[in-house]
Structure 1
């Protein structure tokens, strides 16, 4: 067998892995739709089974295939023909794309599980914060255990604990920074943002200090640009409360994806 045959096989396996991870993301996205709807209302995410809000008819398995079912049903309930929000397939497709991007960034490693978990809860928190302006403890607080455990397993497998130590320090630093901002300006920062900051600091700092700096700065840059745009368009005023969680998560995504490269380029310009 020639070298080119091995390269083709490697490329096929890589493509298969990306597609498989993306498919997993579609399934997770379907579950996230349940989480996004029920958690803010204090409802169980396990039971009862999903049902049409119009006619209360239980959604059958054939009508619960991510994205495809919505397309085949033309965005309507099979039983009563009530419209089904396009948000459902968008969340499913978006989660699939995000999972594939995470795999492309992190690669076939143990820590990819940690970042897929972070991506999943990030999508849920983003939409919940937009909907009800809250970051539920039931999602944020378990991440303080789950994420470090997953990253600790990665450190144990790699035999390198430096990234784990950096992640712990990054989580504490970003938590302290947001806590200080909340104390200094209570109207502009909620304690939910502070708690989320610690989780994001862990995930960002694992990648590197550059990822942490870029991710933290990116949140304020994006949030500031958006707020200024709202004020200039007269859709808000200076004291209007705007959820900051989505911008924290967007900044973290930038930091994890490109933070180290951006930080390296910045440092090179300073030399």
Structure 2
């Protein structure tokens, strides 16, 4: 019992640390900045370097009461939130796979989903670097999986990206406006390399359903006179649906084919 609690603690702590790095990725990547330079964290408001004791995940935010030590500017609550959900992602990955090769790829998948979600919310883009790294990791993962081959990964990628590209193409032809970005299409190539063809289909249809519901609710409460112009990013809903399938895919597949 004590050893299990310790392992959960290790997994959560590791997730917090990685979450702190994801905040760097989320802030810098869409702004065209390199993740590695500068190597230290800095305050976006005043530019001062953040000392290590002010950069402890979650704890420093609480101690500083959510403000920069130098300029007293407000630190967005999203920073500790990203760290917390990354910590939980690490714990759930550990619960699913234990500390193993599967844990590495499962947690890596979730880290990319978290980064993509927050970048897409802020900038309405999904960086090609994240999709490419994700796709490559999915292909590499097939070398270590017993239930999933390279062929499965390729078919999954083609299914997800191909279907979403087709939807985007016909939407553009019918309405004359872009309904889906190519970042979403590339995201599905990445997702398919992990989840296969059925996981890709589930991700698209579940993501579309959840996104449609969220869009209707958001348009209703937006106060905009033209409800049809209310826009929300699609990436976060694809990421959420892909995460659900990652953990419950076998159950979902058995339930579906049971009918």
Aligned residues of 2:142 and 2:153 also touching (Cα < 8 A): no
Secondary structure of the structure 2 residue equivalent to 1:238: helix
Matches within 5 A, 1:147-226: 147-149=138-140, 151-155=141-145, 160=146, 162-186=148-172, 187-205=178-196, 211-226=199-214
2:237 is aligned to 247
SS of corresponding position for 2:228: coil
Give the CA deviation at 1:212.
4.0
Runs (4+) off by over 6 Å: none
Alpha-carbon distance, 1:118 to partner:
1.1
Q: Are residue 40 (structure 1) and residue 35 (structure 2) matched?
A: no
Can you list the C-alpha shifts for 1:96-148, whole angstroms capped at 9, x where unaligned?
01121122223343222111111111111100100010001122122222331
CA contact (8 A) 1:144 1:199 kept: yes
1:175-231 CA-partner distances (Å, limit 9, x unpaired):
1111111111132211111000110112222xxx65444333211111111112123
Q: Do structure 1's residue 73 and structure 2's residue 64 form an aligned pair? A: yes
Find 1:61's aligned residue among 52, 59, 71: 52
Question: Where does structure 1 lack aligned partners over 5 or more consecutive residues?
Answer: 1-10
Q: Distance in 1 between matches of 2:3 and 2:188?
A: 36
C-alpha distance in structure 1 between counterparts of 2:167 and 2:8, whole Å = 39
When normalised by structure 1's length, the TM-score is 0.85
Normalising by structure 2, report the TM-score.
0.89
CA deviation after TM superposition for structure 1 residue 162, in Å: 4.1
**Counterpart in the other structure of 1:94:** 85
Q: Looking at CA atoms only, which structure, 1 or 2, has the larger radius of gyration?
A: 1
Equivalent residues of 2:160, 2:201 under 8 A apart: no
- 1:50 is paired with a residue whose SS is coil
238-247 vs 174-183, which moves further? 238-247
Question: Matches of 1:262 and 1:124 in 2, distance apart?
Answer: 26
